[in-house]
Structure 1
Amino acid sequence: MQISASDHETTVTTRGTRGPAVVLVHSLGLDRRMWDPVLDRLARGRRVFAYDVRGHGTAAGAPLPFTMAATGADLLAVLDALGLETAHVAGLSLGGAIAQTAAVAAPGRFASLTLMAAPDRPVPEAFEQRARLAETGGMTPLIAPTLERWFTADALAAGTDGVRYARDCVASFDPATWASIWRGYGGLDVYERLRDFPAPALALAGEADASIPVEGMAAIAARIGGGAKFEVVPGAPHIQTLERPGEVADALDRFLPSERDIP
């Protein structure tokens, strides 16, 4: 369905009709379809929503420049448009950074927070390099290194459905928008700011993540509230849902409440 998110329109995929609300926020360069492999499982006893972040998918025409403050406000606007006072929010990579930004601004809107391969501080030099590469050479030079950060060598060699989908997303991305997103991502400002986060939290690390190693996600988990629950997804690379959807769905299903839990 189409909804308004701050200053633009976006599309929301929905699954489930009853139970706690779960809102999913995708990674940079992809779109809401990144969550497709886990949606049906999560929707057992839950209402699940996945939307396109500004600059991506059906929200590609949202106004620039991209900023973390704007994306955090967008997430809260999505909750408003869906009629959700609170929701269980899960984000992967940039999606997790967006979720943290919104959680700093409005912690009371979160029934829980799940971070999957998501940083709590930027790497400005690397982010700026990715922005400049798009501006100077377009998207083609970025496809291979991006996929190598996102997937295991085995998945790349096999050319899985997830790899093909991700390649198509990156190849078709507007270079100016890509550059603006990476520069905006460099403004992430949540480090040490969720120490008092009041809701349950989960941090999921990918065992084979080339971008955020297991120990890095463990440290991030320790900086949230009284310490987030921490799990490692066996064999998972950075884009966990596209290579280890079953294991990711299992971990989320264990953490997120559902109507099945109500006596």
Structure 2
Amino acid sequence: MDDSDGMTSLAEARVRGLAQRLALDTGWPRRLAADAEPPAHTHRIRLTDHDTIVAQRGDTGPAVLLVHALGLDWRMWAPVMDVLADGRRVYAYDVRGHGVAAGSPSPYTMADTARDLIGVLDAIGVQRAHVVGLSFGGGIAQTAAVAAPERFASLSLLATTDFPFDAFEGRASSGETEGMAAQVAPSLTRWFTADALAVNGDSVRYARERVLGGDSRDWAAAWRAFKGLDVQGKLAGLGLPTLVLAGAADVSTTPEIMRGIASRIPDARYRELPGTPHMQTLERPELVAEALAEFLA
């Protein structure tokens, strides 16, 4: 490779980095309407052993903290944050090993992710929050609720599990041995309906880019942490108002799995969203926003 090739590669890398920063600053998905709400305000915070970013919509009312799925980042909540921010302060952050927090120390445990969640609440000055977690985020939220229930006003569990799957280690190993390109197809077919994949809209492209651009070490560390999920039966005595929100078309954390979670939490509210796959906020954000807004009200 001659010097001009090297200069071109460096310039391309700088452009990619600038594009990523702009996407993070302006929010996702891109807002095109002239009367659209402004993007979420974001700021960095320091946790015990890494930095991350917190996005906020809304300035008054009860606090709501959103915890994202494995392989994505806080922006998977962008399609529902506007609705939830009506009368609430809504926050979303990048889980360790994801987004701005990519490359954070690993290996780590679910207990570490739970401490991170409480650390986010401390950093934003919130004593108690309504915590919403999807998939891996639901595992983090449950682990944190067991460890520090006094910090929770309620718990919403979306497309998640209260026990680890045998497949988690295989997904970790595949990322290490086959790379991130090999994770795109199996991930997206678990996450979206065939119709959404065929249309290939903004949500699908966002998810594809996040997986493809991820680091295999972060990917493997997250799946191995998820392998240590140990919350089943431990939420029953906490007395937290709980919503269990399933997608009728979810082939990963199926309605059967979600009904099992609800059955183990006294007085939990179970709701099933029609036509909704695993990545609820990315394919059917209007149904998720309506369900959460009703529960939080």
TM-score by length of 2: 0.85
- SS at structure 2 position matched to 1:2: strand
Identity of aligned residues (%): 59
Partner of 2:208: 167
Partner of 2:273: 233
CA distance in 2 between counterparts of 1:6 and 1:37 reads 30
Kindly indicate whether the alpha-carbon contact (under 8 Å) linking 1:5 and 1:75 is maintained by their aligned counterparts in 2: no
CA distance in 2 between counterparts of 1:154 and 1:2 reads 37
* C-alpha distance after superposition, 1:96-146 (max 9, x if no partner): 0000000000111100000001100001x3111111111111111111010
What is the Cα deviation at residue 8 of structure 1? Answer: 1.1
CA distance in 2 between counterparts of 1:130 and 1:100 reads 22
CA distance in 2 between counterparts of 1:121 and 1:183 reads 13
Kindly indicate whether the alpha-carbon contact (under 8 Å) linking 2:160 and 2:258 is maintained by their aligned counterparts in 1: yes
- SS at structure 2 position matched to 1:194: coil
CA distance in 2 between counterparts of 1:144 and 1:66 reads 26
Determine if the alignment matches structure 1 residue 132 to structure 2 residue 173. Answer: yes
- SS at structure 2 position matched to 1:73: helix
Which of 74, 91, 98 is the matching residue for 2:133? 91
CA distance in 2 between counterparts of 1:161 and 1:61 reads 26
CA distance in 1 between counterparts of 2:262 and 2:201 reads 31
CA distance in 2 between counterparts of 1:36 and 1:204 reads 18
What is the Cα deviation at residue 62 of structure 1? Answer: 1.3
Determine if the alignment matches structure 1 residue 117 to structure 2 residue 159. Answer: yes
CA distance in 2 between counterparts of 1:90 and 1:180 reads 22
Whose relative contact order is higher, 1 or 2, with alpha carbons under 8 Å and at least 6 apart? 1
- SS at structure 1 position matched to 2:267: coil
Partner of 2:19: none
Give ranges in structure 2 of 5+ residues lacking alignment. Answer: 1-42
Determine if the alignment matches structure 1 residue 41 to structure 2 residue 101. Answer: no
CA distance in 2 between counterparts of 1:78 and 1:198 reads 23
TM-score by length of 1: 0.95
What is the Cα deviation at residue 157 of structure 1? Answer: 0.6
What is the Cα deviation at residue 227 of structure 1? Answer: 2.9
* C-alpha distance after superposition, 1:33-66 (max 9, x if no partner): 0000000000000000000000000011211113
Partner of 2:238: 197
The count of aligned residue pairs is 255
Partner of 1:14: 56
CA distance in 2 between counterparts of 1:94 and 1:244 reads 19
Partner of 2:70: 28
What is the Cα deviation at residue 6 of structure 1? Answer: 2.3
Partner of 1:260: none
Greater radius of gyration (CA): 2
Partner of 1:157: 198
CA distance in 1 between counterparts of 2:208 and 2:80 reads 20
Partner of 1:248: 288
Give ranges in structure 1 of 5+ residues lacking alignment. Answer: 258-263
CA distance in 1 between counterparts of 2:256 and 2:178 reads 34
CA distance in 1 between counterparts of 2:127 and 2:294 reads 23
Residues 172-191 of structure 1 aligned to structure 2 (within 5 Å):
172-191=213-232
CA RMSD for the aligned pairs? 0.8
CA distance in 2 between counterparts of 1:76 and 1:256 reads 20
Partner of 2:248: 207
Residues 72-111 of structure 1 aligned to structure 2 (within 5 Å):
72-111=114-153
